[in-house]
Structure formats: C-alpha cells, structure tokens
Amino acid sequence: MFAALMGRNLRVFPFGGIRIATVIVLLAASVAGLCDGSRLAVGDIIAVTVDGEKDFTKQYQINGDGCITLPMNLKPVKIAGMNTSDAAAEISKRLSEVLVNPQVSVAFVERAKMQVFVVGQVKKPGLAEIGVGDRVLQALAQAGYDDTADLARVSIRRGNESIPIDLTRYLSGDDLNANVELQAGDTIVVPRVDTVGTVMVLGQVAKVGNIPITRDMRFRELMGLVGGVTVEADTEKITIRRQGVGQIAVDYKRAMDGDPTADLVLQPQDVIYVPQIETAFFTVMGGVNRPGQYPLKGRLTLSEAIGLAGGPAPDIGDLRKVRIVRAANQDTGKSETLDINLTDLNEKGLPEPVIKRGDVITVAVRKQKTGFLDVLRTILPFGWIFR
C-alpha cells in the first residue's frame, strides 16, 4: 500500500544541505485523487467503485494482457498504461452496455512489484522491492542515503548498458527527466562523495568551522551545509579570502538566486567570513513622549520612527512641523535638512521619508496660547512689588 501511495513521482527537496526524501500524502476524497497522474501497470490491484452497483464495485487485478475482467461476461477492459481517470472512463464505456449512465471511480490499492539492486553509498545495500514504474529516488529512499552519497554521479546498470544520471539536477528542478523510471533487474550504483579539501566558515552563520567541500562546490551549496546566515548577518559585506588572490567580495543575493557569475566555485583553504551587521541609530527629539536614541532595524518610515518614541506628546507635538537632519553625504560632504508636514502627507496618502542611519528627527512643540487667567496666576505671587 505504501508503494501505491508513493505513486510514480517521488519529490526530493534539498534543505539545509541535507537531502530529505519526502512523500506528501494528501488524505483527500480518495486515493484515486492522489495517484491520478500515475500509470496503471500489469499486476496492479485497483478498486473500482460503481455508484449503486455492488456487483461491479470490487477490487480487480490487471492481468498479463493489461486488462481487467468485469462480471456479467462483459468483454475485458484494457486499462494498462492509463491513469485512474482515463481507466474510469474506459470502464464506464464498457458498463454502459448494461447500465444507464454508470458513475465509475478507480483507485490504486497495491502496486505490482518488481526487484532492483542498490549498491554503493547507501544504508541498506542489496535487493529492493519497489513498485512497477517507480523511479530511482524511490529506490534510494528505500535503501537510505545521506550527504556522503554523490547524487551527481549515480548510474544504472541495465543489461550491458550503463546509464549515468545526475540526480542533483532533478533536486534543483533543472532536469525533471533525471529521475529515471526503473526496470526489473536494474542495478543502481551510488558512489561516495569525493572531497577535495576544506574551507573555513566564520562569523554569522548557524555552523562555523572547517567544512569539507567537494569538487566544483559553490558558495550557495556551502551556505546550505552551514545552515545559512543568522539574522545578525550583514549579507552585503560577505567576503572570501583566497590564497594568492586576496579578498573577494560576494554578492550574496545574486549568489543565493543561483546566478553562476555570483555563486562562486570554492577552493580548498578558502576562508568565508560573514560579518555582523553594524547597529545603526536614529534620534527623535522635541514634542514626543519618549525623546532619545533608537536602533534602526530594517526599513522604517518617519511615522514609525516617531511611534517608537511614543508618538507626539498630547497638545504639544506638532506633526505639521517635523524636521529631519540627515548626516553628511559621503559624496558631497554636506548634511541635508528635510522639513516635512507629516499630517499633510498622511491625509493625502503620500509616501513618507524612510529613516536612514544617523538621522535626527525633531517634532516641533506647539506654542501654548496664554489667557488672562494664566497671566493673573503668573503675576499674583509678585503683587508685593506694587504695594
């Protein structure tokens, strides 16, 4: 039953440098929905359901001619090579000879079995029993493998023929045909990864230290092996120090996007350094509840910056008069002053300035109106002067 659920296309995803064979089984309305895209083969056992017809609703095994035989002396129905939907339609046609508008569904129960051999860098080498039509990765998942298996140099021995396959291209999505369909008696050979040396990874990564590398390993694959960068990593300043070359800057975003010009090939004794991002600050002053200096983390608008300072003080802070004094520009050497009516921007739905490192934000203080009673309260304590 497990083989039936696996179907024909097992997907394998790379995660953190460890390749994990994953079978996603969606328990929906029926197993037929799960295996609809898989092809029926001789020896498969299927469940045929015909609504309201108990005599026809049962399990059938596909015979050597690729057919199933229905009750009531109906002619055999050839369904080998079809998916479950097409098979249901074909069976429905035959049943329409004796039934009115038969409603038919087909589901896999058990795959026909075949045997292959798996040898080399696997946990359980030897004979593996898999479903007819299963593919290389399904056999490897049964035999068990880890990062010591060189999936780029797997081969299939079929009679006098040796078929080389690069499963890493299937794993990366570059070649979905690389996960070859197996035949009974195939031998799958999995070689061991050949390491060419080590590199040192330092700084803001999940796993620092000496990491073994294989021939032609690139930066992106290494990042997977070390668990990626931490949240404190400054990905704009990653470098590789290489003997005889010096320091090489890494374009992290392009490298992780798979750009071959940025995803550099590593060499033994490279030192990869991922620095910690420097903490940036900005300052909020004037008519706010909590004036002071605040760390700048990520993208921050002017309203958000004032919000971190507790927002405008009631009846004091004037958001119509906000000033940003920006640190000196490296190119011009001059500071910049921005006077902003934040109330007006918000009312009109206009974009706000984005805060930069070192910005000093001043929220104007409203001028308080002075009434007659306020003046009287101020001068009464000094009444003795007029005696």
Whether residues 160 and 216 fall in one domain: no
User: What residues pair up with 324 in beta bridges, in sequence order?
Assistant: 338, 361
Q: Which of 199-203, 219-223, 236-240, 372-376 has the lowest mean pLDDT?
A: 372-376
382 against 357, higher pLDDT = 357
CA dist 359 to 280, 294, 318, Å?
A: 10, 10, 19
3-state secondary structure of 311: coil
Q: What percent of the chain has pLDDT over 90?
A: 60
Q: For the chain, how big is the Rg over CA atoms in Å? A: 35
Query: If you average pLDDT over residues 328-357, what whole number do you get?
Result: 86
How does pLDDT run across 149-168, given as a tens digit for each residue?
889 899 999 988 999 999 98
Residue 308 lies in a domain: yes
pTM for this model (two decimals): 0.43
Boundary residue ending a domain (110, 132, 166): 110
- We report the CATH number of the domain holding residue 18 as 3.30.1950.10
115 against 14, higher pLDDT = 115
Band the pLDDT of 372: cuts 50, 70, 90. low
- We report the CATH number of the domain holding residue 260 as 3.10.560.10
User: What residues pair up with 363 in beta bridges, in sequence order?
Assistant: 286, 322
3-state secondary structure of 303: helix
Beta strands across the sheet bearing 360-365: 292-296, 280-286, 360-365, 317-326, 336-340
Give me the number of domains the chain comprises: 4
Whether residues 6 and 106 fall in one domain: yes
Whether residues 16 and 105 fall in one domain: yes
Whether residues 18 and 76 fall in one domain: yes
How does pLDDT run across 176-211, given as a tens digit for each residue?
899 999 999 999 999 988 888 899 999 999 999 999
Cα gap 212→201, rounded to integer Å: 11
Query: If you average pLDDT over residues 331-341, what whole number do you get?
Result: 83
The DSSP-derived string for 84-140 is HHHHHHHHHHHHTTTSSS--EEEEEEEPPEEEEEEEESSSS-EEEEEETT-BHHHHH
Cα gap 371→378, rounded to integer Å: 11
Q: What angle do CA 141, 144, 147 make, to 5 degrees?
A: 105
Q: What angle do CA 186, 192, 197 make, to 5 degrees?
A: 160
Boundary residue ending a domain (157, 190, 223): 190
Q: How many CB atoms lie within 10 A of CB 170?
A: 21
Whether residues 19 and 99 fall in one domain: yes
* Positive or negative torsion for Cα 74, 77, 83, 89: negative
Whether residues 173 and 229 fall in one domain: no
The residue range of the domain holding 34 is 2-110
* Positive or negative torsion for Cα 206, 209, 215, 218: positive
Give the dihedral of Cα atoms 342, 346, 352, 357; nearest 10 deg.
50
Residue 376: per-residue pLDDT:
54
